[in-house]
Amino acid sequence: MTSEMLQVIAEDGAPSHTEAPELSRDQLRTIYRTMLATRELDERGLKLQRQGRIGFYLSSKGQEAAHIGSAFALNPEDWVFQSYRDPGILLLRGITFEEMLHQCYGNAKDNTRGRQMPVHYSFKKVNCNSISSPIGTQIVQAVGAAMAAKIRKDPIVAMTYFGDGGTSSNDFHTGMNFAGVYASPCVFVCENNGWAISCPVDGQTASTTMAAKAEAYGMPGVRVDGNDVLAVYRAAKEAVDRARAGKGPTLLELVTFRMGAHSSSDDDSRYRSEEMMELWGRKDPLARFRQFLVRGGFWEEGEDEELRQSVQSELQAAIEAAEKEGPPPLSSMFDDVFEERTATLEEQWDALRQAYEQGSVSGANVGEFPL
């Protein structure tokens, strides 16, 4: 166990002393495109919330390398149990801006039927489990899925994501302990961004590092520069291969920084200094990876503007499509409770429909978003 961080790309974009993982030119460019698309989605999503067009937003700005680099190490059939700050995983797996924005608007085309908070996505078709707000719940879910796969002899890996604050949850201990005892094919990814809302890491734990916590559960703990996408990929690939080979779980601590507020409801200027923001701004994972790609001849500086314009056009079309949709139908309240509606649900639906037709209730959204 070491407190040193694995690093492949130095902060100025130059190669470090650690050998880069073997990735093709196309793979490197795919990673960068996904990182940039994630940044653009976040910046637009926050503006939509500020304009009152959606109710809530959580940004992953500054953490693109951490979740995209680690998810790139998975196979399509592997399962992801992500947190709410990992939208790039969905983009990486082929989910479109439009599908994600339908969820943010909670409209009739939202595949969660408006029942979730914005950015709490759920896409079974790409093996991404439903995101929930309670901290740490996805950890035990991932371990359970991984254990089920092991029992079925299905060679898949489950990867789960959480922040530094999530390591204080009961589910972290339960999941880590169970996975360690039964050698569950699970990879635990702690995106240590320094803050659990306004609580700093030194107020969260007395451990020397988050990676050090792995030792107590009988698994490797690896500390990685979370703003270095290639170091993240390298560590994640080793952990995924280890889990798939039946050698058990790994805890990855990806040391990064959330460059924005905790959410659209948070004012991070109350607990973080301008100097701190400037320091980490110079460590921007997107700029760092771009410099590395340009140095290696994998990317041209002029390509950035072309890509941004393409992404922004796609985003604008997705927003327009989402805003054309009305809310989910009232009847959807009674669907997905049971495979078939029970007699009691039918009675409740009939009563609500009659009240709506008589004008005593409205089908429109009522009131302000609670957060």
Please choose, from the candidates 111, 184, 118, the residue with its C-alpha nearest in 3D space to the C-alpha of residue 146: 184
End-to-end CA distance of the chain: 41
DSSP 279-329: HHHTT-HHHHHHHHHHHTTS--TTHHHHHHHHHHHHHHHHHHHHHHS-PPP
Q: Which of 115, 271, 295, 308 is catalytic?
A: 271
Mark whether 262 is an active-site residue: yes
Please choose, from the candidates 191, 184, 157, the residue with its C-alpha nearest in 3D space to the C-alpha of residue 73: 157
Mark whether 233 is an active-site residue: no
Q: Which of 113, 258, 272, 288 is catalytic?
A: 258
Alpha-carbon gap, residue 41 to 105, rounded angstroms: 14
Alpha-carbon gap, residue 80 to 189, rounded angstroms: 11
Entry field: residues in the chain? 371
Mark whether 258 is an active-site residue: yes
Alpha-carbon gap, residue 139 to 166, rounded angstroms: 9
DSSP 115-135: -S-TT---BGGGTBPPP-SST
Tally Cβ neighbours within 10 Å of residue 57: 23
Q: Which of 223, 262, 272, 290 is catalytic?
A: 262
CB 194 within 8 A of CB 203: no
* Cα 77 → chain centroid: 18
Alpha-carbon gap, residue 64 to 62, rounded angstroms: 6
Residues annotated as catalytic (active site), given as ranges = 258, 262, 271
